[in-house]
Amino acid sequence: MTTTQRAVDTVVGRPTLGQLARAEIRYTLRNPLLWVGALGAAALSWGPVVDGLVDDVAGVIDNYVLLDFGTGVLALVAFLVANWAAQRERPATTAELFSAAPARRWDRTVGLLAAAIVPTIQALVITIGTHLLVWRAGGVQLGVTRAVTLQPTPLEALGAPLAVGCAFVAGVALARLIRSRAVGALVGLIGWFLFHFTYWVWLTAPFGLFAVSRSALTSADLGREVSGAEEARWPAISPPDEFTPTYWGIDRDLGLYGLHLLYVVGVITALCGLALVRSGRDRRSWRLLGGGLVIAGVAVVVELLVHDGARVWMGYM
């Protein structure tokens, strides 16, 4: 019996962790719900571009900031798939007791976190498809009083995949904190609602600093009249309308967006660390958690204190 107990405590090596990761990736690839979510996201992302809706300038910036809007469906499905997968029953106790190197809960969590690559790649393919369609359509026009036509950049193609991958990892982390599929479904639906129906909140400071998905556009209130200097400074300007009584300057800041992506990477790392901390004792878990928090914190601080785009966006430049 003593020998059996020692086997249960055995730490698996890298080859076994690799096998666990490959098994979880195959399991995730075969999940029909995830493919339904990917198809729905593709339809929502590609449909408006194919139908020519990006040529409508009535929304001023909506056509551009909503390019990644469709991937919110995939993020919701990825979250639910990960959350439910993390709550699968363990192998039979007898089978684990007699295995040569039984996998700990920590090891199984590592394997499951690796499966985040599946929805991440799906989101990347969808985003690349969207950007190619926009390029073919000639870009998206921003502004009315002063207009500019923008094409999406390769850097912006990373935003939606990172957000979807973050949703998958968050689903695993939540399952390690609260073992309830009902709670997981509720949290997922709330997150999807905030992304889809209050997306404009994440376009403004300070909420946009902590958004998982955000546009590369920045804007500033120019008042009821626009000076010549301000008109020359902003690539696009939106006039007053029924919703905004003042002029707004619109720009695309890829440096600021790059810092945002670094922040998302930090959040993903911290969530991985949290899931692993809740899965068993291992010093690497705390390193991931602490490192992710540092990366996310540094990215936000640099946005606020160093980058010009953030200062304009926050309104204190």
Q: What is the pLDDT of residues 44-103, one digit of tens each?
A: 989 877 766 555 544 556 778 888 888 999 999 999 999 999 988 655 434 444 444 556
- Asked if the model's pLDDT at residue 42 lies above 80, the reply is yes
Number of structural domains (the chain) is 1
Report the chain's C-alpha Rg in angstroms: 22
> Widest CA span of the chain, in angstroms?
84
* Helix, strand, coil tally for the chain in percent (to 5): 65, 5, 25
Greatest mean pLDDT among 3-12, 198-207, 226-235, 295-304 lies in 295-304
Task: Give the per-residue SS3 of 43-95.
Answer: HHHHHHHHCCHHHCCCCCCHHHHCCCCCHHHHHHHHHHHHHHHCCCCCCCHHH
Q: What is the pLDDT of residues 236-261, one digit of tens each?
A: 888 887 777 888 888 888 988 999 99
Structure tokens given for 288: 């991931």
Q: Output the pLDDT for position 228.
A: 75
What is the rounded distance in angstroms from the CA atom of residue 36 to the CA atom of residue 21? Answer: 23
**Which band of pLDDT confidence, cut at 50, 70 and 90, is reported for residue 272?**
very high
**Which band of pLDDT confidence, cut at 50, 70 and 90, is reported for residue 274?**
very high
Q: Output the pLDDT for position 13.
A: 58
Chain mean pLDDT for the chain: 82
User: Which whole number is the average pLDDT over 288-292?
Assistant: 95
The CA dihedral of 304, 306, 308, 311, to the nearest 10 degrees, is: 30
Q: Output the pLDDT for position 19.
A: 85
**Which band of pLDDT confidence, cut at 50, 70 and 90, is reported for residue 12?**
low
Please give the model's pTM, rounded to 2 decimal places. Answer: 0.85
Q: What is the pLDDT of residues 191-201, one digit of tens each?
A: 888 877 777 77
Least confident segment among 63-72, 225-234, 247-256, 287-296: 225-234
- Boundaries of domain holding 32: 2-314
**Using an 8 Å Cβ cutoff, are 249 and 233 in contact?**
yes
Q: Output the pLDDT for position 313.
A: 63
What is the rounded distance in angstroms from the CA atom of residue 153 to the CA atom of residue 213? Answer: 16
Q: Output the pLDDT for position 237.
A: 85
- Asked if the model's pLDDT at residue 300 lies above 70, the reply is yes
**Using an 8 Å Cβ cutoff, are 102 and 17 in contact?**
no
Q: Output the pLDDT for position 49.
A: 78
Greatest mean pLDDT among 104-113, 183-192, 265-274 lies in 265-274
